[in-house]
Amino acid sequence: MNESILKSGVQDFIKNNWDTDIVSVLLKKSFFDGVGQKELVEQLEAKKKCRYKLPSWFNTPKIYYPKKLHIEQTSSEATAEYKADLIRGKSLLDITGGLGVDSYFFSKKFDDIIHCEMNEKLSEIAAHNFKVLEVKNTAFKIGDGIKFLKNSDLKFDWVFVDPSRRNEVKGKVFLLQDCLPNIPDELDAIFRKTKNILVKTSPLLDISQGISELEFVKEIHVVAVKNEVKELLWILEKGYQGEVAIKTVNLVKDKEHHFDFTLSTEKGIVAELGLPGTYLYEPNAAILKSGGFKSIGKTMGVKKLHEHSHLYTADRLLDFPGRRFKIQNVLTYNKKKLQQLELTKVNITTRNFPESVASLRQKLKLKDGGDTYLLFTTDLNNQRVVIKCQKV
């Protein structure tokens, strides 16, 4: 850390210029003794990234910002607060602490937190920011969190780990065994020091693959923010052999839209199919990622348009966890028929359809926007259809 960045003059500049043109700052001579323009720009860029993602950091004076890459890689406050509400206890070890956003919210639920981070500078920044944020129950350890755990005599109520999805040899990876640390290989060692593990993984990880790589999976939380899946959370309980519960949540402003099911229930349901009725329903991104396609249909009493379309229909308006549309017209996919609608600006979605949104826009010469929605899909008769509708 460069302590000069914390001087009042520098801090005032960062507070007042976080949204300024970065290039103009870089091209000017140094504004402050001991602080280079590149360092100053790094603070400005990172603070800007925090405006919506980490408002507590953004709005607190004297916060020291790491490089913006660390901001991009960390949990948002919304997802960190959600995961902190899932678990309770006296002690928690954060094996891969990073900037400390998750540890910060865990500190509100636990008596004692230990934050481990291999990057010495990042650990130092996190420790400084926790003092500024008035967090007093977190200890910071520089080094490998797995090694710390193995060498420690302490036991913990919970261990949290967010394995890196980048491998020095393989680059970006999608299997847990290729992440750092390798959680499947380290599970036995971790369970010697705790009975409960919370693992955060990329939303790109296949859920069935994760279950096969891990042990004692009790719950899987699929977390979306504004209909974009941000992370998968895996709750492991030593010795657990029961049902795996899938819990989906879509965080929208001050609301949480939940839908839960179990894998065994999903497998046992026979999906009811139907042709488009009065209303069309599209599950939110968390449900689509979870694979609970038959469970959502049965629970909500709606029919699927096709086994693989993941669009649903009913003749009544429901409080559905996703997008809702009033159907205006259903057309067989045909360029001439679509041109007869005389549309110029529409919103396009494809589900179980062989062409992409981009190719359809180009072929049909349709601009993006407006109040009309065209959903290109396949119906129960394996016919390619276009459903014209408006959002409810």
Give tens-digit pLDDT for 138-182: 999 999 999 999 999 999 999 999 998 765 555 565 688 888 899
For the chain, list the strands marked E by DSSP: 91-94, 112-117, 138-142, 158-161, 166-167, 171-172, 196-201, 217-225, 228-237, 245-252, 255-262, 279-283, 303-304, 312-314, 322-332, 345-350, 367-378, 384-391
pTM attached to this predicted model: 0.92
Q: pLDDT 10s digit of each residue in the chain, 392 long?
A: 899 999 999 999 999 999 999 898 888 888 898 999 999 999 999 999 999 999 999 999 999 999 999 999 899 999 999 999 999 999 999 999 999 999 999 999 999 999 999 999 999 999 999 999 999 999 999 999 999 999 999 999 999 999 987 655 555 656 888 888 999 999 999 999 999 999 999 999 999 999 999 999 999 999 999 999 999 999 999 999 999 999 999 999 888 999 999 999 999 999 999 999 999 999 999 999 999 999 999 999 999 999 999 999 999 999 999 999 999 999 999 888 888 888 889 999 999 999 999 999 998 889 999 999 999 999 999 999 999 999 99
| Residue from 235, 190, 196, 236 nearest 216 by CA | 236
Give tens-digit pLDDT for 328-387: 999 999 888 888 888 889 999 999 999 999 999 998 889 999 999 999 999 999 999 999
